A and B are shown apart, each in its own frame.
Chain A
Amino acid sequence: MTSSLTLSVTTFMYLACLINYLSGAIFRSRLLLRAGTAVGWAALAGGTLGLGLRWHESYEMGFGHAPLSNLYESLVFGAWCIMLVYLVLELRTRQRALGVFPALFAFLAMAYASFSTQTEIQPLVPALKSNWLIAHVVACFLGYAAFAISFGISVFYLATAKSSQNPHPKGMFALLPDRRTLDALNYQIIVFGFLWLSLGIITGSVWADQAWGAYWSWDPKETWSLITWLIYAAALHFRAMRGWRGRRVAWCSIVGFGCVLFTYFGVNFLLSGLHSYATQ
């Protein structure tokens, strides 16, 4: 069994997970949502196995390194992080109807990874040979994963605004938690993401200091991660202002996730900078 086969199967498991969550929400079926959770855990296990095998294979090729070194590997790891953070959140809150967006993002990341990136395992270039690689990438992706989940919660929060007078919304949103809980969950997950994004920027900064001789050089990737950080910092401060909860935090989270996507994809393809190894 190879990592690429395992990861292909995992991609379809994320798709199955998405179909279950989505049809569970549309047809208001708790059974289908439960199936979504089960397939989600299975997909997470598949992703873990695939990443583990890829790690092992890189050692067999003679230049072993953690599978976090290029666009393909980071997409696979990103999907894994989204699923992990979401499933742990679900375990804590027992709210299954929120799984639609995480499953969608995980599937899209895997599909994009397998279609349009270089999938071969390659040795590390000197700039990436550092213990900071794992810490930096893991911290950033846990943050990104949390923000992806917050994006989903925010969309649900804004979409249910019209039915907010009705304590028991009908249709697709029937199985969602009430708006107060959505807002509280959104805040919790943003806080979690913000902590990890901060750690990601800090580890990146310390690493840059070691590799390039400057802990901050306003490289486009650095700058965009700071923009993301500033937006979520603003979202957290909205909570401290009277009457600015809910809607504004939700909009902030949606804009913030746009910044995450731009930091991750846009900077690589549109702006040139020091993070060039992330484009292959």
Chain B
Amino acid sequence: MQQKKAFWEALYHQLASVKLTVILLLALAVGSLLGTLLPQGLSPAEVAQRFGEETARWINILGLANVFQTTWFQMLLVLLAINLVVCTLDRLPKTRRRLRHSEKQITPERLEKFSLHRELKLPGGLENLRPRLEQVISREFAPLKPVEGTGSYGAVSEKGRWSPWMVYVVHLSVLLVLAGALVGSLFGFKGFMTIPENEQSSQYRLRGEQRLAELPFTLRLDNFDVTYYETGAPEEYRSDITVLENGEEVMKSSVLVNDPFTYRGITLYQSTFGSDLATADVQFTGGKPETAAEVALGYGETVALPNGDKVHLMRFARNFSGFGPALAIAVLRQGEEPVASWVLADRPGFHGNEVGGYKVEVKQLEQRYYSGFQVRYDPGTWIVYTGFTLMILGMGLTFYSSHRKLWIWADEVVPGTTRMMLAGRSSKKGPDFERDFERLCEDIRKDLAEGEKEESNPS
């Protein structure tokens, strides 16, 4: 029982230590570094092909081709989160106690023990000096709060009491970013969809899976446009889209790079584009009985010729083995096996432009664009963004503010002479506060001494 308690206490101390924080930060740095050595997301087969079986085995055991999804990397993040929470639970009550601590008694002996203290001997009685002292300190530092003591005068003054809390804001912000990422990965999705011009679709492919999923609405690509600078570099990619619900148009919008479109929480990003074949006008000559016909073939379409044979446009190649655009055309004749062949569109005289007894000539190709969209739903984004905002605010405030406190004790040791003891402490140690403290003491000395002179010689 005793041992068990000791174990938990030791574990708590480990989890609440800054040492663990530093170790975790450096371990995450090393882990992330490992994640940039190999291209991430390679499949085990690709790894084996590139690095050989033996190396691949180690790469797969350590997850080097997928570092950021491995258990060990995510455990480091979880440990960091636990470390942050335990540190906060451990230190927050201490900070609270320190700030709530009320001064009982201020004595010169106690103030002398401060590393930053100064003693002043001032002409004048305490009763006369007191209002001016309070005036100077509230002007140059913060209002003085008297502390009831024994006989003599004691007071404290403090600035930036909120400052010690700010470091907790920064730590909370890190937790929020991690939590937001977790929410996003649990409840969100990422996918990809392509739509050809003038077609509509509501299907997208989930990332990392072969599965197709369905959007709660339908999109139609009305127009895709790409413009170029004179240099030939791309200037803008633009997809004009229409949202349809239950077959009715709901909204028109456009999607550009850096200007995504959001509907019902789902965001579409302009990602890729390309062109494919819309229709081809093809002339068929030959067959039995002999016929000559020009037909408009859509991609994947089958059309009947006047003599009863059917022709089918199977595939389209933008550049077939360096011979330019080509169509794969099949001829289907009743009672015979279908025959198919590639037909070169730009070389009408090519002897191979023959399929199933027909001489085939491509008269015109009509291409159309298709546009590729990244599709995303991430309910954790706003949590992450709240974390980002708090992180910057908290960091700025924690780095550039401090809790500064001043203790003052004074007594009229001899009638007409006051002995004063000042001490100061800042949550940020360093030369800045030392300088400010010295300056303040000097101002008090000058101000009170001069004020006393004026009062004693009312000329």
Q: Which residues of B contact A181 (CB under 8 A)?
A: 431
Cβ contacts A95-139/B at 8 Å (1 or 0 each)? 000000000000000000000000000110111011000000000
On chain A, the residues within 8 Å of B256 by CB distance are 126
- In the complex with contacts A195-B399, A234-B22, A211-B257 CB distance below 8 A: yes
Whether B233 contacts A231 by the Cβ 8 Å rule is no
- Interface residue stretch chosen among A48-56, A81-89, A216-224: A216-224
* Neighbour of A205 across the interface among B229, B236, B388, B396, CB < 8 A: B388
Contacts of A191 in B (CB 8 A): 399
Beyond A218-B35, A231-B29, is A126–B18 a contact (Cβ under 8 Å)? no
**Is the Cβ of A238 less than 8 Å from the Cβ of B22?**
yes
Are B22 and A123 in contact, with the CB atoms below 8 A?
A: no
B223 interface residue (CB < 8 Å to A) = no
Q: Is B4 part of the binding interface, using a Cβ–Cβ cutoff of 8 Å? A: no
Q: Does B235 contact A (CB under 8 A)?
A: yes
Q: Which residues of A contact B430 (CB under 8 A)?
A: 184
Let me know if A216 and B257 touch, CB within 8 A.
no
A273–B267 CA distance with the chains assembled, in angstroms: 23
- Tell me whether A122 and B231 are in contact in the complex, defined as CB-CB below 8 angstroms, given that A211-B258, A241-B22 are known contacts: yes
* Complex-state Cα separation, A240 to B267, whole angstroms: 43
Complex formed: what's the CA distance from A274 to B381 in Å?
A: 21
Is B374 positioned at the interface, with any CB of A under 8 Å from its CB? Answer: yes
Do A213 and B269 contact each other (CB < 8 Å), given the known contacts A198-B395, A227-B33, A230-B29? yes
Q: When the two chains form their complex, are residues A241 and B18 in contact, meaning their CB atoms are under 8 A apart?
A: yes
B391 CB within 8 Å of chain A: yes
Query: How far, in Å, is A147 (CB) from chain B's closest CB?
Result: 15
Interface residues of B in 187-243 (CB under 8 A from A): 190, 229, 231, 233-237
Say yes or no: A126-B396 contact (C-beta < 8 A), given A184-B430, A211-B269.
no
Q: Is the CB of A209 within 8 A of B381?
A: yes
Query: Which residues of B, 240-292, contact A by the 8 Å Cβ criterion?
Result: 256-260, 267, 269, 271
Q: Bound state CA distance, A233 and B26, in angstroms?
A: 9
Report the Cα distance A198→B390, complex, angstroms. Answer: 12
| Docked complex: B349-399 residues within 8 A CB-CB of A | 374-376, 381, 384-385, 388, 391-392, 395-396, 399
Give Cα distance in the complex from A267 to B33, angstroms. Answer: 11
Interface residues of B in 378-428 (CB under 8 A from A): 381, 384-385, 388, 391-392, 395-396, 399
Determine whether the beta carbon of A216 is less than 8 Å from that of B181.
yes
Please, which residue of chain B has its CB at the minimum distance from the CB of A195? B395
Instruction: Provide the residues of chain A in CB contact with B152, threshold 8 Å.
Output: none
Interface membership of A275, Cβ < 8 A: no
| CA–CA, A220 and B388, complex, Å | 21
* Chain B residues, Cβ within 8 Å of A241: 18-19, 22
In whole angstroms, what is the CA distance A63 to B230 when docked?
11
Specify which of A63, A127, A227, A240 is in contact with B32 (CB 8 Å cutoff): A227
Query: A126-B234, A209-B381 in contact; A233/B260 too (CB < 8 A)?
Result: no
Q: Bits for A184-203, please: 1 = Cβ < 8 Å to B, else 0.
A: 10000001101100110010
Residues of chain B within 8 A (CB-CB) of A212 are 269, 271, 374
How extensive is the interface on chain A, given as a class?
A: 35 or more
| A63 near B40: Cβ-Cβ < 8 Å | no
Q: Is the CB of A123 within 8 A of B29?
A: no
Q: Are B18 and A223 in contact (CB under 8 A)?
A: no
Contact for A215 among B258, B269, B384, B399, CB less than 8 A: B384
Residue B21 interfacial (CB < 8 Å): yes
> Is B136 on the interface with A (CB-CB < 8 A)?
no
B36-A202 in contact (CB<8A): no
User: Interface code B45-88, partner A: CB below 8 Å = 1, 0 otherwise?
Assistant: 00000000000000000000000100000000000000000000
In the bound assembly, the distance between CA atoms of A184 and B428 in angstroms comes to 11
Q: Which residue of B19, B29, B40, B190 contacts A227 across the interface (Cβ within 8 Å)?
A: B29
Interface SS of A by simple majority: helix
Cβ of A68 to closest chain B Cβ, rounded Å: 15
Give B396 Cβ to nearest chain A Cβ, in Å: 6
For residue A226, CB closer than 8 A to chain B, the reply is yes
Q: How far is the CA of A220 from the CA of B384 in the complex (A)?
A: 21
- Chain A residue contacts of B40, Cβ below 8 A: 218
A271: interface (CB < 8 Å): yes
User: A240 — nearest CB in chain B belongs to which residue?
Assistant: B18
- Which residues of A are found within 8 Å of B391, using beta-carbon distances? 198, 202
Residues B18 and A127 in contact, CB atoms below 8 Å apart: no
Assuming the A-B contacts A218-B68, A234-B26, are A63 and B257 also in contact, with contact meaning beta carbons closer than 8 angstroms in the complex? Answer: no
Q: Is the CB of B231 within 8 A of A123?
A: yes
Given A126-B256, A129-B258, A191-B399, also A213-B236 (CB < 8 A): no
Closest to B38 in A: A271
B36–A127 CB distance below 8 A: no
Complex Cα distance, B229 from A199, in Å, reads 32
Q: How far is the CB of A200 from chain B (nearest CB, A)?
A: 11
A125, A199, A215: which has the most chain B beta carbons within 10 Å? A215
Distance A61 CA – B89 CA, assembled complex (angstroms): 59
Chain A residue numbers with a CB within 8 Å of B190 are 213-214
Interface residues of A in 241-267 (CB under 8 A from B): 241, 267
In the assembly, what is the distance between CA of A4 and CA of B430, in Å?
44
Cβ-based interface call for B339 (8 A): no
Question: Which B residues are CB-close (under 8 A) to A129?
Answer: 236, 257-258
At the interface, yes or no: A237 with Cβ under 8 Å from chain B? yes
Q: Does B92 lie at the interface of the complex (its beta carbon under 8 Å from any beta carbon of A)?
A: no
In the complex the two chains form, what is the Cα distance from A231 to B258 in whole Å? 31
Q: A158 within 8 Å of B by Cβ?
A: no
Write out the residue numbers on chain B whose beta carbons fall within 8 Å of the beta carbon of A194: 395, 399
Q: Are A198 and B234 in contact (CB under 8 A)?
A: no
Q: Is A210's beta carbon under 8 Å from chain B?
A: yes
Would you list 11 pairs from A and B whose C-beta atoms are within 8 A, ordered by A residue? A63-B229, A125-B233, A126-B235, A194-B399, A195-B395, A195-B396, A210-B259, A213-B376, A231-B29, A237-B21, A267-B36
| 5 tightest Cβ-Cβ pairs between the two chains A and B | A213-B269, A126-B257, A213-B374, A230-B29, A234-B25
Residues of A near any B CB (own CB < 8 A): 63, 122-123, 125-127, 129-130, 181, 184, 191-192, 194-195, 198-199, 202, 205-206, 209-216, 218, 220, 223-224, 226-227, 230-231, 233-234, 237-238, 240-241, 267, 271-272
